[in-house]
Structure 1
Amino acid sequence: MKKLLKSFGYAFAGIWSGFRTQRNIKIHVAVALLVFILGAIVSLTRMEWMIVIIVICAVISLELINTAIEAAVDMHGTKRHPLAKLAKDTAAGAVLVMSIGAVLIGLLIFLPKLYSLL
């Protein structure tokens, strides 16, 4: 049980470290808070909340993975290497793909609700 609690502590430390040090994670969290506020205003359904939460978690999780990949690559030195660039660029690309998908899903969920309010 003690090992399990320790592993959760490490995971939370990783999340906190990512939030403290990575501008993009701060941006994702700020946007997520705005989405939660807007979701409450437009009264998202249970299913819509589940989709929104999954998408937000996916984007932030990918950003944390991207941070881990960048740190691991940087640990091996500052000398430029094509494989280091590939690793960093593709990890960043994964975040971008999910972020674009998140925006599209958000538009599909929120635009009809905002339109009906007008």
Structure 2
Amino acid sequence: MSHGQHVKPNGSGIGRIIKATKCSFDGLVSAWRDEAAFRQEMLMAVIGTALACWLAQSINQWLLLVIPLMALLVVEIFNSAIEAAIDRIGAEIHPLSKKAKDLGSSAVFITLLIIALCWGSVLYQNYLVG
């Protein structure tokens, strides 16, 4: 191995893909088990996806309804990761710890606003100006 190259902990090739998939699954299990907000948002995503099948009048509308729900799950996982990292650093109250957690929470809030805008626009288009 030449200078500057590092061995990746999960290897390379198909073995890396398998290990990365396992890590991803472990993260989803952890989010489901340990994060009430993730469970609530997953329920919202499942119900929302089913409703989108009924409400959407085109594939574009369906995507406009479903993609933000999936994005919410992604943002919630990032928020939980930030919280876990901050909690690992220490339990003491610190302004930067609060800032990091508040920023993560803000990202979730903005994603919820995006969902409201997308759903509101589809409902408006289909049922108010139809």
TM-score, normalised on structure 1?
0.88
Offset of 1:44 from its aligned partner?
Answer: 3.7
By relative contact order (CA 8 Å, sep 6+), the higher-ranking structure is 1
Matches for 1:1-118 after TM superposition, within 5 Å:
1-115=14-128
Alignment partners' CA distance in 1, 2:127 and 2:46:
18
Moved more, 108-117 or 76-85: 108-117
Larger helix proportion of the pair: 1
Alignment partners' CA distance in 2, 1:14 and 1:22:
11
The one-letter amino acid paired with 1:16 is V
Identity of aligned residues (%): 25
| Superposed CA RMSD | 1.8
5+ residue gaps, structure 1: none
Question: Highest Rg: 1 or 2?
Answer: 2
Alignment partners' CA distance in 1, 2:38 and 2:22:
19
Offset of 1:55 from its aligned partner?
Answer: 0.7
User: What residue is the counterpart of 2:5 in the other structure?
Assistant: none
The one-letter amino acid paired with 2:54 is I
Number of residue-to-residue matches in the alignment: 117
TM-score, normalised on structure 2?
0.81
Alignment partners' CA distance in 1, 2:51 and 2:127:
10
Alignment partners' CA distance in 2, 1:102 and 1:7:
29
Offset of 1:87 from its aligned partner?
Answer: 0.3
